[in-house]
Amino acid sequence: MKAQVTGFLKNIVNIKGTNKGLLIQLNDMTSYTEMLDELKKKVSDPALEGDAEVQIQLANRHYSQEQLDEIKKAIQDNSKLKVIGTKCDVVTVEECNRMISERQSETYVGIVRSGQVVRAKGDLVVIGDVNPNGRIEAGGNVYVLGRLKGIAHAGASGNREAVIAASWLEATHLMIADEIETMTDELDSLLEQPEMECAYLHTSGKIIIDRLQELRFLRPQISTFKGGS
Amino acid sequence: MGEAIVITSGKGGVGKTTSTANLGTALALQGKKVCLIDTDIGLRNLDVILGLENRIIYDLIDVLEGRCKIHQALVKDKRFEDRLFLLPAAQTADKNDVNPEQMKELVDSMKEDYDFILIDCPAGIEQGYKNAVAGADRAIVVTTPEISAVRDADRIIGLLELEENLDAPKLIINRIRPHLMEAGDALDVNEITTHLSIDLLGIVPDDERVISSSNRGEPVVMDPSNPAALGYRNIARRLLGESVPLMTMDKPKAGMFGKLKSIFTSK
């Protein structure tokens, strides 16, 4: 893979046109400063006219946030090009571990009582009730096999796609990412049919409650199950 | 070797002290040797309910600070010969004058001499609560059929479950008014126990004579005809390991005519 990329990139900096705008490929084998100088030279070429949008392909080199900012600045100061995204083929161990823990699911068996807080970095499965003033928080989705009568926060680290699902959704407060819904008005209608419900963040920015069965259409990406017949 | 049981609730005014006095008395009536410890330092009133206020000489703080021996501070209830004792709280100190280690040491040292040590816990979840729980082997949570009391019970159960040397807490539902429960205006026994999901130790019906007898300094449990007394006596028997069915709340009794009517309408 690496050999292929570097073999392909004979130049230190390559600028290609694609149907989605320009693509700047940076060689990952040369020194950083050499690459940066070359980049400045290439983008200030008067032949590159117009204010096209560019993607930067970083290949197999890890750049710090400062370096990325420097690269963007080098492009935007020397041309009218607008950087709309970067694509890197490597991540740090730290980032990787964070991504793994965010994808993992933690299980809590027991009752989350008043004043207690249960937190998980990834998804959280609570088997038991969450009593009023009890709080559950997850970086990912929250699933309660029991009565959710307290406070639930899904996507606590900012994931707006996260959902809250419960066998009985009778929560006092629902939170997804940085949105909050106090369940005062909803509660009356929910009390009639609180079973098997899920809450998600609608594109309008409001938390919406729907039947659990709708989740497969609303958030198909939650399913990680592969195969089957 | 006796057991130490803390009686707690989180919320104030649900009947911790009344329950402590009545359960202690009921256990003494069953022939057990019981010591009641009032840990509500600064706001003591277990002594008043037992009618022992005038006989206090030393208190809990005096014992802990070494100003007297335990046996000097204990107030004996003469109605029960040598079976019921009270270790009163101090009224001139506050809860921060005691720490949990001292309490644990004290309770442990007393366990050999008694079958039961009942510790009356103050309201709240601060220092006073921590002191009361420190020496206990078991916990009883008192609540009433009110949402606020049940919320606080839930909080306190959560804290009790974190204590490693305590058995799973048991529940007493106090001040039950059957007509409110039947009308759906108060939480019913089932709702409360499923919400809190701990074992129910017993229920105590609301009765005016609980108040009047407390004012006289005679725990209501001494009057065997009283429904609240029956509730407490049943709980005491369950504490002793007997299996006693849950008392049924008596509905207003049907008169002669009502009885006849029910015979004709039922098939």
Distance from B199 to chain A by nearest Cα, in Å?
Answer: 14
The whole-number pLDDT of residue A44 equals 84
**A113 contacts on B by Cβ (under 8 Å):** 154-155, 157-158, 161
Mean of the per-residue pLDDT values of chain B: 92
Q: Cβ–Cβ of A131/B195 closer than 8 Å?
A: yes
Distance from B258 to chain A by nearest Cα, in Å?
Answer: 37
Candidates A108, A109, A114, partner chain B, best to mutate (most B CBs within 10 A): A114
Q: Cβ–Cβ of A133/B154 closer than 8 Å?
A: yes
Per cent of chain B over pLDDT 70 is: 93
Q: Which of A96-105, B4-13, B85-94, B115-124 has the lowest mean pLDDT?
A: A96-105
Asked if pLDDT for residue A1 goes beyond 50, the answer is: no
**A115 contacts on B by Cβ (under 8 Å):** 155, 158-159
Distance from B155 to chain A by nearest Cα, in Å?
Answer: 5
The whole-number pLDDT of residue A4 equals 47
Q: Cβ–Cβ of B155/A129 closer than 8 Å?
A: no
Please answer whether residues A136 and A142 qualify as being in contact, where contact means their C-beta atoms are separated by less than 8 angstroms: yes
Nearest to A133 among B151, B161, B197 (CB): B151
The whole-number pLDDT of residue A9 equals 55
The whole-number pLDDT of residue B155 equals 96
Taking only residues 101 to 130 of chain A, the set having a beta carbon closer than 8 angstroms to any beta carbon of chain B reads: 111, 113-116, 129
Burial of residue B158 (number of CB atoms within 10 Å: 0-12, 13-18, 19+): buried
Candidates B147, B155, B196, partner chain A, best to mutate (most A CBs within 10 A): B155
Please answer whether residues B195 and B150 qualify as being in contact, where contact means their C-beta atoms are separated by less than 8 angstroms: yes
pLDDT tens digits, one per residue of B162-208 = 999 999 999 999 999 999 998 989 999 999 999 999 999 999 999 99
B154 touches chain A (CB under 8 A): yes
The whole-number pLDDT of residue A169 equals 93
Which segments of A48-206 are extended strands (E)?
53-59, 82-88, 105-109, 117-120, 123-127, 135-138, 142-148, 151-154, 164-169, 173-176, 179-182, 195-201
A131 touches chain B (CB under 8 A): yes
Please answer whether residues A158 and A178 qualify as being in contact, where contact means their C-beta atoms are separated by less than 8 angstroms: yes
The whole-number pLDDT of residue A188 equals 61
The whole-number pLDDT of residue A62 equals 87
pLDDT tens digits, one per residue of A2-29 = 444 444 556 888 888 888 788 888 888 8
3-state secondary structure B228-248: HHHHHHHHHHHHCCCCCCCCC
Per cent of chain A over pLDDT 70 is: 91
Tell me the average pLDDT across B58-87.
Answer: 95
Confidence of residue A84 (pLDDT cuts 50, 70, 90): confident
pLDDT tens digits, one per residue of A31-64 = 888 888 888 888 888 777 777 888 888 888 888 8
- For the question of an ipTM over 0.90, the answer is no
Distance from A147 to chain B by nearest Cα, in Å?
Answer: 9
* Close Cβ partners of B106 (under 8 Å, ≥ 6 residues apart): B63, B64, B70, B135
Distance from A179 to chain B by nearest Cα, in Å?
Answer: 26
Q: Cβ–Cβ of B161/A114 closer than 8 Å?
A: no
Q: Which of A158-162, A225-229, B73-77 has the lowest mean pLDDT?
A: A225-229
Residue B209 CB coordination number (10 Å): 15
